[in-house]
Structure 1
Amino acid sequence: MSDGKSTTWDANLYLKFADHRMRPALDLMGRLDPANGARPGHAIYDLGCGAGNISRILAERFPEAPVVGIDSSEEMLAKARSQTVDARVTFQKGDLAHFQPDLPPGILYSNAAYHWLDGHIDMFPGLLKLLPSGGQLAIQMPRNHEAPSHASMKQAAEAGPWRDKLARVRPIAPVLEPARYYDALKPLCSDLEVWETIYQQPLTGKDPVAQYTSSTGLRPYLELLQEPERTDFYNAYAALLAKAYPTRPDGITLFPFRRLFIVARRA
């Protein structure tokens, strides 16, 4: 789901893997206390809402509260609006690094967005302070930046004639050790959960892991190249991943993916 940058996102490619990306979003949502989701005059914000899939589910889980999806991508917002019929769910363009709500928030929810922002850990106490006492902050971020799926992006970028062009790509901001987030938020919380889950994602098809990352982490690299370099770079990256994530005899490629979760309640 997209963030405060100007990257153009391929909503259709992103949604191709919606099931794998949906599970951690639902796991995060499942830890929210529904009794605190319907505060009079307060809204639920989906920060980095992407195509709005989770925004609509938040509205179902909290039927008495308005839900506002915030995203920087016009393409994602257009997709979200075209697929949403519930008048309680609206979408706005916004920058997560400088988020200020129009309505008082009761819940701030963000699935796979803040890891794109440098210094995101310093933003989280400020988000928590936007909430009333008992309000909830829920954040999920991929913590896979050291895995071959992401390390191979830099390796492929430095190994070809496109090296100088791709040197401009800013790497994904590292997601820190869980204890760092716990320490940053604990003084402001009456309750705080921080945990990690590694999902063993079964993928199929040609270049399955490369296809998965093409809609997110790999996209800034691809956008800087023209054909035929774009395809040549993609093929070089996919070849590295084929070795790191071999296809099993049953045709499945298992793609382990680590994610960090935070659910905090404002003191």
Structure 2
Amino acid sequence: MPTSPVWNPQQYGKYADQRGRPFADLLSRVRAESPATVVDLGCGPGNLTATLADRWPEASVHGVDSSAEMIAAAAEVEGGSLTFEVADLREWIQRTPGGSVDVIVSNATLQWLPDQLDLLPSLVERLRPGGWLAIQIPGNHDAPSHEILRELANTAPYAEFAAPNAVRGNLPEPADYLRVLTSAGCEVDAWETTYSHVLQGENAVLEWVKGTGARPVLQSLPEGLRVNFEREYGERLSRAYPRQAFGTVLPFRRVFAVAQKPGEPQSIGVEGATR
């Protein structure tokens, strides 16, 4: 069975500028003017969640992540109306009243949930009339970085440990988000973008994926096998993504969806917000 990885905020934080750009592009399409309650589901180390508090300084901004390590890192930016907690996304849905949130953001998180499309109507239900749901997921599961990872993880002697953690189902396309969210009554903007990230450093693509997609596979391996796997994986990645004089180019496709719930936004001051 797949194992739950222990996330490393420092490894994830490498190339933070490149990782943060899709978040900024996603939020640029959210036109909420004065939300009272904003929630970031899968907030990671909280650095991007903090930008939500900067944009809406009168709002209560709350970050939720299932990783205790990520939330511990988020404590460095916590303060005032910006708060964080360790919680599973499904748990948050179950205990959050319907119609209680103005903006829900989920950036690079829902790809870990095989039933994410089934959860979207529940997220819409948690929005107040006129509220916004903003989603971004990686769409690069067919990229060399992931194809090499799956191939190697299913090769002896690694397969015994790593194969279950290399299985990833098909991820939603923009049309899938459009279909499900419009069926939930929302006005929807769905699109995709492929970024050409220029990464610096030795075997930069390996360093990138060690913080995200490859981490569950690497952590599933005993230490001795992990060292060998990482070396072989890194060698293959360096051939697939050759380093050039200006850096290493990582093409990265991402899928976005921004949905607005029907109805007029409620005029609720911070004093009246649910905290």
TM-score between both structures, scaled by the size of structure 1: 0.91
Which residue of structure 2 lines up, in the alignment, with residue 25 of structure 1? Answer: 23
- Secondary structure in 2 matching 1:150: helix
Name which of structure 1's ranges 99-108 and 211-220 shifts more when overlaid on structure 2. Answer: 99-108
Instruction: Write out per-residue CA displacement over residues 16-47 of structure 1, whole angstroms, 9 at most, x where no aligned residue.
Output: 12111100011111111131x424xxx10000
Which residue of structure 2 lines up, in the alignment, with residue 9 of structure 1? Answer: 7
What is the letter of the counterpart of residue 260 of structure 1?
A: V
Q: How does 1:18-57 map to 2 (within 5 A)?
A: 18-35=16-33, 37-39=34-36, 43-57=37-51
Q: Using the TM superposition, give the Cα deviation of residue 141 of structure 1 relative to its aligned residue in structure 2, in angstroms.
A: 0.4
Q: Using the TM superposition, give the Cα deviation of residue 73 of structure 1 relative to its aligned residue in structure 2, in angstroms.
A: 0.4
Residue 148 (structure 2) pairs with residue 155 (structure 1)? no
Structure 1: gaps (5+ residues): none
Q: How does 1:71-90 map to 2 (within 5 A)?
A: 71-81=65-75, 83-90=76-83
Provide the rounded CA distance (Å) in 1 between the counterparts of 2:159 and 2:131. 47
Provide the rounded CA distance (Å) in 2 between the counterparts of 1:93 and 1:128. 22
Q: Using the TM superposition, give the Cα deviation of residue 161 of structure 1 relative to its aligned residue in structure 2, in angstroms.
A: 1.3
Provide the rounded CA distance (Å) in 1 between the counterparts of 2:68 and 2:78. 18
Provide the rounded CA distance (Å) in 1 between the counterparts of 2:5 and 2:223. 19
Residue 92 (structure 2) pairs with residue 99 (structure 1)? yes
Residue 101 (structure 2) pairs with residue 108 (structure 1)? no
- How much identity, in percent, do the aligned residues show? 38
Residue 116 (structure 2) pairs with residue 123 (structure 1)? no
Instruction: Write out per-residue CA displacement over residues 203-244 of structure 1, whole angstroms, 9 at most, x where no aligned residue.
Output: 122211111000111111111223321111011111221222
Provide the rounded CA distance (Å) in 2 between the counterparts of 1:213 and 1:205. 14
Which residue of structure 2 lines up, in the alignment, with residue 196 of structure 1? Answer: 192
Structure 2: gaps (5+ residues): 263-275
Provide the rounded CA distance (Å) in 2 between the counterparts of 1:55 and 1:177. 25
Q: Using the TM superposition, give the Cα deviation of residue 170 of structure 1 relative to its aligned residue in structure 2, in angstroms.
A: 5.0
TM-score between both structures, scaled by the size of structure 2: 0.88
- Secondary structure in 1 matching 2:129: coil
Q: CA RMSD in A?
A: 1.6
Q: Kindly tell me the number of residue pairs found equivalent between the two proteins.
A: 257
Q: Using the TM superposition, give the Cα deviation of residue 171 of structure 1 relative to its aligned residue in structure 2, in angstroms.
A: 2.6
Q: Using the TM superposition, give the Cα deviation of residue 194 of structure 1 relative to its aligned residue in structure 2, in angstroms.
A: 0.1
Name which of structure 1's ranges 166-175 and 55-64 shifts more when overlaid on structure 2. Answer: 166-175
